[in-house]
Amino acid sequence: MGEPPLGLVGASAAAIRCSRPQRCECQERNPSASLMDRFRPEFLNRVDEVVVFHALGKEQIRRIVDLQLARVRRTALAQGIDLSFDDGLRDHLAQIGYDPEFGARMLKRKIRLEVESQLADALLRGDVRDGDKVTMTYDSGTRSVLVQKGASPTEAPSEASTQVPAHA
């Protein structure tokens, strides 16, 4: 009864011993040794396999952001909207969607809040319609996501593009 819950031990051990993206050789070679210090043999006899998780690096987090945004893009394409995202928005999502202790679990929620909700609002207002080409950007000055109609992520917003500020 004096032992902490398994999930907390796993998360704290991973955060303390493997807080860098490189492999922790001591845990890779013999992860059971760390467990023997924390758990009773009766419990460990019931464990078939030990999996060591490593902290995500910036490149891995960015890849997860790209995968999640690809899902949003496919959904928009099904609605007839050609959606793209600039690097500033990707970087912003990677920063706010990752926590060293919990990993990238918050990322889906942040994308739903910061990207999907803003696009849905623009659709409901009629600012974005079927057949539109839309780029979503992040404005660090106003700290908000912008929906830009008629621009590609490499183009600067021009007179022809319409900026639709998102509600933060």
Q: Which residues of 25-46 are buried (b: 16+ CB within 10 A; e: fewer)?
A: eebeeebeebbeeebeeeeeee
Which pLDDT belongs to residue 3?
Answer: 47
Domain topology for 58-165: Helicase, Ruva Protein; domain 3 (1.10.8)
User: Rounded to whole angstroms, how far apart are CA atoms 6 and 146?
Assistant: 42
Location of structure tokens 């078939």: 48
Mean pLDDT of 102-128: 92
Task: Count the neighbouring beta carbons within 10 Å of the beta carbon of residue 108.
Answer: 14
61 or 156: which leads in pLDDT:
61
* pLDDT score of 4 more than 60: no
49 or 95: which leads in pLDDT:
95
Local confidence band at 151 (pLDDT 50, 70, 90 cut-offs): low
* 105, 114 contact by CB (below 8 A): no
Show me where the domains of the chain are located.
6-44, 58-165
Who's near 47: CB < 8 A, 6+ residues apart? 35
Q: At what angle do helices 87-96 and 58-78 cross, to 10 degrees?
A: 120
Local confidence band at 104 (pLDDT 50, 70, 90 cut-offs): confident
* pLDDT score of 144 more than 60: yes
Mean pLDDT of 70-92: 96
Which pLDDT belongs to residue 32?
Answer: 72
**Rounded to the nearest 5°, which phi and psi values hold at 66?**
-60, -40
Which pLDDT belongs to residue 9?
Answer: 42
Mean pLDDT of 125-131: 93
* pLDDT score of 49 more than 60: yes
Task: Count the neighbouring beta carbons within 10 Å of the beta carbon of residue 54.
Answer: 17
Lowest mean pLDDT among 44-58, 101-115, 128-142: 44-58
Beta strands in the chain (DSSP E): 82-85, 133-139, 144-149, 162-165
Q: Which two tokens stand for residue 63?
A: 């890849």
* pLDDT score of 115 more than 70: yes
* pLDDT score of 66 more than 70: yes
Q: Which of helix, strand or coil describes residue 79?
A: coil
